[in-house]
Chain A
Amino acid sequence: MNDTLSLLIGLAMGLNLLALGTSRLPVLIRAVAAQGVLLGLLPLVLEAHALDWRLILITLATVAGKGLLIPYMLIRAMRAAGIARELEPFIGYIPSLLLGAGGTIAAVALIRYLPLLPEHAGTLHVPGAMALILTGFILLIGRTKAISQVCGYLILENGIYLAGLLLIRSTPILVEFGILLDVTVGIFVIGIIVDRIQRAFDSLDTRKLTALHE
């Protein structure tokens, strides 16, 4: 079980690096989608000994939401705005990659000093969650296009989701749905805002929004 778990999380961490290193928005969106699918399958692996129809339903819903619905909407927004590339990031691609890789290594190294339960200590579960959150933050801080930032939020949410799976036995899955719902609503809102920003300013560059401050 641990091997499958680590494999899935390891793949998700690899997708982080892809998300950090690419300048193409379609690649970024697909990386996030693939990460969502991988993480959506995790409950099946974790609870393999007690499968029931509710768990399968939840897994299907998560995979459909993270892997299909949200990426589909993002790609639509991207097409509507007519942008395919992130051209002027605050933090360049190579530095982002280095930061992400460094953060991932640090997360794995840090795990030794954290007071974890014995069943979590041997897996990539906790460092994976930390690496995802870190990657989300790097994208949020380092990118200027609103769509890239949405992807950053999604990766951040994936990290929170992964961390939340640690508590799968004590937290009702409803809470997870609550988080996902928040993010979905957030994406709807951001989608609408992106559209408005595009129409009003002829650009999706969030740096130009500073003119609105105060």
Chain B
Amino acid sequence: MIAVLLALAGLCLILAAGMGRSHPRIWLGLSVIATLCGLSAALSVLGGGEIWLWRGGFTLGGEVPSLRLDGVSALFLILVCVVGGLGAIYSHEYWSEHHYPGSAPKSRSWWSILTLSMTLVLTCANGLHFLFAWEAFALSAYFLITLDHGRGEVRKAGWLYLAASHAGTMALFAFFSALAARTGTWELGPVHAQAGLAPLFWLALAGFGVKAGMFPLHIWLPSAHANAPSHVSAIMSAVAIKMGVYGIVRFSGWLPLPENAGWTILAIGCASALFGIAFALAQNDIKRLMAYCSVENVGIILIGLGLSVLAVQHGQPAWGKAALAGTFLHVINHGLLKTLLFFGAGSVLHATGTRDMSRLGGLWRAMPWTASLFAVGAMAVSGLPPLNGFVGEWAIYQGLLRAVAQKEHAAGVLPAVIVLAGSGALALAAFAKATGVVFLGAPRTKPAAQAVECGWLMRAPMFLLAVVMLVIGLLPGLFFAPIMNSVAAWAPQWSGADPLLSPRTLGGAHTVLACALIAGVALLLRMVRTNGTRQSPTWDCGYVAPSSRMQYTSGSFAGIARGWFVWLLRPEVLIRRVRGHFPGRALVVERIPETVLEKIIDPGARAVGYMADAAKKMQHGRLHLYILYVFLGVTALGLMILLGGV
């Protein structure tokens, strides 16, 4: 049954990739069918809790292909299907033939190839084929990011992505080859018995970590997500980086782990969460802000995973299960809410043509749907109840606090609680800024004033996502049950333990809260209607002619919080002050560099470049010196043999 569904989904995606170029409607239909098939396959595996296995009767590249879908991969497959399908619908209007006649056909084909290759990454149970699928996934994502390759910054972002991605893939090649060499087979599966494999986990962490965008390997992520078309940003941020998370989750479950793996993942998670949101807070580009927010959320996921690994190492299934369930739920939640947010940002971009928040403002009048759906997403990403963002984080908090309360080996996770809470607060500030500056106030520029609401093909996916998010928030019990099957697939040894989570209580509290909110809003509306409203200008410090420029900008909104992180952000500010009796144009320009990339990796790369240039001087064309090189080389070898006794 599952085999049929998956085969059908794969067939639809292959057909869609082939026919998508010339037949947009057929492509949309095929994409939706593939989504539904894939989704039902994933849900039946997740609901049943059994592992689906398939082995081919032939060889491909010298290896027998084998596919496997268990609780962990099915969970991620849900995300691929949901975002793949909704993104297809969204892009049908957003990146339409009418607006982008050159790149819309490419967008459709590569979209199908991307979803297909991600499905293969999740199902391949052979290391060699996994690498093929991984490479196809990385390349199709590259072509999607650079759809709009007429713009220089897009090409630059694409190259950075490609380079970073392949640096990660290199580590993965090393990892899978070493794994195959030590175990004697390319087949993937649990290998706990061989304790000697533990150091390989670091290779996997680095290789998958680049894709996951964990700090400090996130360098490619902000520019790629900001410059890609919004439906691509959504699938990159919501699903593609989760493939990296999947790799880390998968192999932390299958490999024997080094002793300090749990603490390391936890520390990386804390750094990603805190620094990611600090960078997000300081951005002026709305999509860049959300890209950094993805780094934060990967951090939250890694905090949960690190805690679960600690639980495995210390034999504590109770809070380990809670933390892992929270981690898995947050993977899904972040996927859904980040898709919603990027779709919202895309519709703003579609309407105004700019991502710069200082040029937007007052859009809620023109785009009420986008504004309110974006606000729902912003609430969810800030971890506010009664939405889904809170549910996952709540379970992770439960795990963390129980680990602290137990006062044993893992009590040192207390700082992670503080980091998680702090990054939650900063996320609220960042998204209050994004929502406030973009949608509230008065329009700052002409395009912002002339914006119009997007069409229903773009609105429908956003609405659907918001509904699902609300359902997860109100009925978390419904989702915890299948996620426990994923937890069981990750750590089968925990099968008997009770996670001590009470999602029903949480759901009840959320429902009460939601009802109270609705009642409060209804009451407020009623009061406004009965009492009437009175319009007057805001207090304007005595200015005669207040203009839309006298609003909080995105920079000033986050000024104080940004000040706490100056040591990390290192903003580059250009100020031309008002001077003299006839002052010229005054100016303030502020740019937040990508610190890791521009202050560490760039100088390092330049140093390598200088060394390479210096080495090029040895290539001068003088035969005598070439013979000298040969002579020196032979002499050195001779000395090595003589002294080393090789």
Contacts and interface: CB of A to CB of B under 8 A. Distances in A.
A and B part of one assembly: yes
A137 B623 contact: no
B579 interface: no
A144 B625 CA distance: 11
A212 B627 contact: no
A210 interface: yes
Contacts of B619: 213-214
Interface string A132-163: 00000100111110000100000000000000
Interface string B324-355: 00000000000000000000000000000000
Contact of A141 (B620, B621, B624, B642): B624
B54 interface: no
B631 A206 contact: no
A206 B621 contact: no
A37 B625 CA distance: 30
Contacts of B151: none
Interface in B604-633: 619-625, 627-628, 631
A207 interface: yes
A188 interface: no
Nearest to A143: B624
Given A113-B642, A137-B631, A142 B624 contact: yes
Interface in A89-147: 90, 113-114, 137, 140-144
A76 to B, nearest CB: 23
A174 interface: no
A206 B620 contact: no
A213 B626 CA distance: 13
A140 B627 contact: yes
B623 A209 contact: yes
B627 A214 contact: no
B498 to A, nearest CB: 71
Nearest to B622: A210
A141 B631 CA distance: 9
A114 B642 CA distance: 8
Contacts of B620: 210, 213
A14 B313 CA distance: 75
Contacts of B622: 207, 210
Given A113-B642, A137-B631, A141-B631, A212 B624 contact: no
Name which of B619, B622, B624, B642 has the most chain A CB atoms within 10 A of its CB: B624
Nearest to B645: A115
A213 to B, nearest CB: 3
A85 B596 CA distance: 62
Most buried by A among B619, B620, B623, B631: B623
Interface in B356-408: none
A147 to B, nearest CB: 14
Interface string A163-194: 00000000000000000000000000000000
Contacts of A209: 621, 623
Nearest to B631: A137
Contacts of A142: 624
A92 to B, nearest CB: 14
Contacts of B624: 90, 140-144, 206
Contacts of B631: 137, 141
A157 to B, nearest CB: 14
A113 B623 CA distance: 33
A90 to B, nearest CB: 6
B552 to A, nearest CB: 59
B621 A212 contact: yes
A210 B627 contact: no
A206 B627 contact: no
A142 B622 CA distance: 11
Nearest to B643: A113
24 contacts: A90-B624, A113-B642, A114-B642, A137-B627, A137-B628, A137-B631, A140-B627, A141-B624, A141-B627, A141-B628, A141-B631, A143-B624, A144-B624, A206-B624, A209-B621, A210-B620, A210-B621, A210-B622, A212-B621, A213-B619, A213-B620, A213-B621, A214-B619, A214-B621
Interface of A: 90, 113-114, 137, 140-144, 149, 206-207, 209-210, 212-214
In the A-B complex, list the 10 residue pairs whose CB atoms are closest, starting with the nearest: A213-B621, A210-B621, A140-B627, A137-B631, A141-B624, A141-B628, A141-B627, A210-B622, A90-B624, A206-B623
Given A137-B628, A141-B625, A143-B624, 9 more contacts: A114-B642, A137-B631, A144-B624, A210-B620, A210-B621, A213-B619, A213-B621, A214-B619, A214-B621
